[in-house]
Copies of this chain bind each other. A is one copy, B any other.
C-alpha cells in the first residue's frame, strides 16, 4: 500500500500478495469464447467467467482477501458491511470459509433471495430502511456493537487488490489482450483491473461499460471529478452505486474510455450471451458486450477481454419474459 495525501492506494505487490492469499479459497475461473460472437462483434472476444465463483461473483476475490488478511485478534470480531448485492453474499461466504462472524446491513426491501443467500453463508442481517441515513445509522450501531472490521464493497484497498487478481489470471489464460472491458458501478473491478494491468500489461487498454441510465461514472470521467447520481434506475442493478475517492483514483488515472449502453442493448447482449456462450450472467455483466457491439469500430480486429462479473439472477423474472 502507498499513501497519497491520505488516500491508501493498493499496489501491484498488494495484488500479488492477495493472489497468494486467496488462491486456496477462490476458483481459477475459465475463459469462454464463441466463434459466433466473434463474427458478430468483428473482434476476438474472451469472456472471463467470474459468475462461476461459488457465490457467483468476482466480489469473492476482494472479500476473501480482506477476510484472510485480518489478524487473529481482529478476525475474532469478524467483518461487517452494508450491501444488498453480491458483496454481501461474497463477504458472508469468505467469513464462513474462515469461520468468523459477518454482519450485513441490508435494506428491508432487498429481495428475499439475496437475504436467503447471505444467511445460507452464515451472514447475520440487520435490516435498515431503504435510505442512506438509515443505512449509515444502522451500520454505525452494528459496527459499534460487534467491533467487526468494515469491508467496504469497493472503496477499500484490500478489496481492490483482490479484484485485481482476476486480470492477472485473465492475461495468463489468454496470452495477452489488447483491451479489457468490465462493467463499472462503484468501480471496484475496474480499479483492480487498472491496478494489475498498469504494471503487468501497460499497453492493454481498460474500458469501462456503464448503463446509460446510471451513467454517473461516464459523466464523472468527462467532467474530471466525481458526480454521484441521486437515484439511478437500471436493470443492471449491480451498477447503481457511485465512484468513491479510491476507485476514482484508478478510473481517472488509467481508464481509457467509458462507453454506455441502453437498457434494451443490455438485455439483448445478455440474451446473446446466454444463447451463444451458454452462460448465465447478470444484466450488469452484459453491459461490456453491449458496448462492444455498439462501438464496433473501437474494437475491430482486437483481442478483447470481457469480465463476466456475476451470475446471480432471478430465473423467474428474466428481462425478456413478458409481464
A274-B315 contact, Cβ under 8 Å, with A279-B279, A280-B279? yes
**In the assembled complex, which residues on chain B have CB atoms less than 8 Å from the CB atom of A49?**
278
Q: Are A52 and B35 interface neighbours, CB within 8 A? A: no
A54 touches B30 (CB 8 A): no
Main secondary structure of the interface of A (DSSP, over half): loop
Please give the distance in Å from A10's CB to the nearest CB on chain B.
Answer: 28
A31 to chain B: closest residue by CB: B30
| Cα A315 to Cα B179 with chains together (Å) | 30
A34 in the interface, Cβ–Cβ < 8 Å? yes
Cross-chain contact B320 with A316 (CB below 8 angstroms): yes
A321 contacts B by Cβ under 8 Å: yes
Assess the A320–B315 pair: CB atoms within 8 A. Answer: yes
Chain B contacts of A249 at CB under 8 A?
none
Say yes or no: B54 contacts A34, CB within 8 Å.
yes
Whether a CB of chain B sits under 8 angstroms from the CB of A271 is yes
Q: What are some 26 contacts across the A-B interface (CB < 8 A)?
A: A30-B30, A32-B52, A34-B54, A35-B54, A36-B54, A49-B278, A51-B278, A52-B277, A56-B278, A271-B315, A274-B280, A274-B315, A275-B280, A275-B315, A278-B279, A278-B280, A278-B281, A278-B311, A279-B279, A279-B280, A280-B280, A315-B318, A315-B320, A316-B320, A318-B318, A321-B321
Nearest first, the 4 A-B pairs at minimum CB distance are: A278-B311, A278-B280, A30-B30, A51-B278
Since A279-B279, A315-B320, A316-B320 are in contact, a sample of 9 more A-B pairs with Cβ atoms closer than 8 Å, ordered by chain A residue number, is A30-B30, A34-B54, A36-B54, A52-B278, A271-B315, A275-B280, A278-B279, A278-B281, A318-B318
